[in-house]
Structure 1
Amino acid sequence: MSANDKMRNAMVLFVITLLIAIGMRVELQNFADDFIFSHALDHTSLHDYMIKRYQGWSGRFTLDALMVSTINYHIVWKIGIPASLLILCASVSKIISGKVNLALTTAFLCLFMLIPFSINENAAWWVTGFYNYLLPVSMLSYSMSVFLKTGKVNFSEGFAAVISLSISCFNEQTAFFTLAVTIIAIAINKLYRRKFSYIYLLFSLINSALLFLSPGNFIRAEKESWRWLPGFKEMPLLNKLTFGFDRIHQTVVMHDGVIFGIICVLSLIIIRKFSQKSKISLFFSSVLVIHLILMLIKHFHLADLGVAFYNEEYLNAQRWISYSRYLSYLFSLLVIFSVFYAMAIATVQRNTIAKPMIALLIGYATIAMLSFSPTVFASWMRVLFFWEVIAATACLWIYYEFLRDDESRNTWILAGLMLAAAMSF
C-alpha cells in the first residue's frame, strides 16, 4: 500500500470516527429552548402552532416546523447533526476545487472543530442551535456549491439546490448572504447570467421575503427590546452601530480565535510573497504581527491587557466610557483592513480569491446586521457561527490556491489538523 493510500484511508477513518462520535455525544437538554420546543406540540397541532408562531414571534417558518415536529425523535438530530456537518465540509471542498475532494473535506472538518467551543456549543452541538444555525448553513453551502458552478447545472442538482433554499433562507444571516452573493455573481460575471441563476434568485427572494416580512418579527422585536435593551428603538443610530461593531470586534480578539489567527498568518505570507516592498505593505504587515503577538499574550495569559482593550466580553457601561475600548476597536479595524489588503493582493495573482474575499466581507455584514436587533447580545456566541464558517472556508481556499504544491507539507499540515481536531473534541 502506497503512502497516498495510507493517508487516504486515514482520512476516511478519521472523518467517519469523528462524525459518529459527534452523533453519539450530542444530547437533548431538559431545560431552556430544548425543553420548550420538545413540548411545543403537547396541546396543539403543528398547523396551529406554526400559524401562531409566524404571526406572533418568528419568521423562521420551515426551521421552526422541522424543529418542533422532529426534536422528540432523537435519531433525527443524532444523525442530522453529523450529516449536516458532512454536507457542509463536502460542499465547501466542491466550492473551492470544483469537485468533492477528500483532503479538503477532511481539512475543513478539522478547521470546523477549531471554531471556538463557545460558538459551536451554541450553534452546532446544541440541538435547538443545530436546527437554527448548522442546518441552514449546511444547506446554504450545498446550494452555493451548485450555484457557483460555471458549467451547466443538471436538473437533479439544480432542483436539490433550489429546494435547499427553503431551509437556508429561513435564517436571517444565511438569507442575507444568499441574496447578496447571488446578486453580485449575476451582476459581475456573465457566466452566472443563465436560466438557473435567475430561478435560484427568484426562490431566494421569495423565501427571504417570507422570513423578513413575518408579522411575528416586529412583535418579537418590540418585546425583546424591553427584555434585553430597554429604549433600543429610540437609541441614536451611532449607538446601535457600536453594538454591532462590538460583535465584529469580538471576531478579532477572541482568545481562542484560531481560525482568524490562521487567516492572519496566511495574510502575512501573501503580503511577503506577492506584495512589492512599500510603506503600506510594511504597515499592514506590522499590524498583523502586533495582533498575533497580542493574541499569544492573551491565549497564554502572559500579561493582563485590561477589562476593555482586546477584551472579548460584551460592551457594558464600564467599557462604553473606556478610551482603551475604542482604541481596541480602531486597532481591530486595522487588522481587518490588513486581511482584506492581503486578499486583494492575492486576487491580483488568482482572481478566484475574489470569491472568499467577497464572502468574508458579506460575512462581516451579517454581523453588522445585528446592530438593528435588540438581541445583539442576547443571541450569545451563535450569531458568530456563520462568520466562522466563512472564515474557515477562506483559510482553506487561500491555502489551496497558493500553498498546495508541496505534497509533503500538505500531509504534515493535514496530520497536524487532524490531531488538533481530535484533541479539541
Structure 2
Amino acid sequence: MSATEQMAQMLNELMGVKRNADIGDTDEPDFDEPDVCKNFLVAFCPNEMFRNTKADLGFCPKIHDPALRLKYRESSRFEKLGYEEEFLNKIRRLDDEVRRKIEKNERRLAMTQPVIKDASKEGGEGETDAQRRQKELISEQQSNLLPTLVSKFRALEPKRQIVYTSGFPSYHFYCVNAFASLLMLPLNIIVNVLTGLFLILKAEALGALGKVDEAKEQVRQADKFKQERAALDRLLAQSANPTSHIEDLANQLSKPMEVCQVCGCFMLVNDVQQRIDDHYAGKQHMAYARIRATIEEMDRKREEKRKGKIEREDKERKDRERKERDDRERRNERDRERERDRDRERDRDKDRDRRRDDRDRGHRHRSPRTRRDDDRRYDRHSDRHRDRRDDRDRHRVTFC
C-alpha cells in the first residue's frame, strides 16, 4: 500500500468517506453499492485485519463505514443478498491456508528436532535417518559432478595446441598432467584445476590471439565457474563433516520448539510468559484467532437455522396433516349427517303415506250419518270463518 493510500485511509477513518463532499450534500451511499466492502458489512474486512503483518493481503480500496453496516443489519434484506456466504468462503480459505502452514511446520519440526537431539550427543553415536540422507545426497552430487568435470576438461583439449604455439608451454604441460591425474585428485583440487584452466586457457589464450570479445565471454563463463566452485566448497565442507550444519542448527535451536496451532508460527517450549503473551497479543495471531472463532460462530448459527428450518417444516407438516385429518373427519361427519337426514326424511315419508292410507281406508268405511256430521262441522267452521272476516271488514270501514 502506497503512502497516498495510507493517508487516504487514515483520513477516511478520521473524517469519514464523505470528507470532500460539499456542504448540504446528503447523497449517502447505500450498502449494496459496488464500492462498499461487503466483508465489513458482515463482520470485518480481512485485508484490514492482516495489514502490516507477514500475511498482509494488501490494501482494500472499498468503503468501511459502520453506519452502512448498521443500515444493512436493520434492513429487510439482511442475510438475503449472499454477503454472508461470500465472506464465509473467503475467511474459510484463509483458515485452510494457515492450517496447511501448521501441518507443514509440524512436519518440518518433526524432521529437524530429532536430528538436533541426536547430533548433540557426545561422540556422535547413533546415525539418524537425516544424517544418512545427507550423506547419500553428498555422494550422489559427487558422483554426478565427476563425469561433468571430465567432459568439461576434455573440451579443453583443442586449446592445448593453441597455448603451446602461443608460447605458453608451461600451461600445456599443466593441462596434460592435470588431465592425466584427474580421477586421482581430490574433489577440491579438481575444482581448482578446472577453474584455473578456464581462467587461463580460455581467457588469456584467446586474448593472445587477439580475440578480445571471445576472451571477455570466457571471463564471464569463468565467473559462473567461481560460483560453482563456491557451491562445491560448501559441498566439500559438508562431506568432511556431514553433521556440521546440523550442529549449527542445534546451537541455534538449543530449546525444543512447537508450532502455534492458531497462526502456524514457531514458539519455544516453556518460553518466558512475557514472550508468550506478546505472541498471543500479536496482530497476526489475533487475526487468525478471530477468523477461526467467526467461522465456528457462523457455522453454529447456520446449523441452528438448519435445525430450526427442519423443526418448522416438521411442525408445518404435522399441522397440515392434522388439518387434513380434521377436514376429512368433518366431511365424513357431514356425509353421515346427510345420510341420517335422508333416513329421517324417508321415515317421515313412510309415516305420511301410512297415515294417508289409513285415512283413506277409514273414509271408505264410515257411515252416511258420520259423513253428514262431518259436513255440518265443516259448514259451521266455514260460517265462523266468514263471520270473522265480515267483522274485520266492518271494523276496517269504521276506522277509515
TM-score tier after normalising by the smaller chain length: under 0.3
Q: TM-score under structure 2 normalisation?
A: 0.20
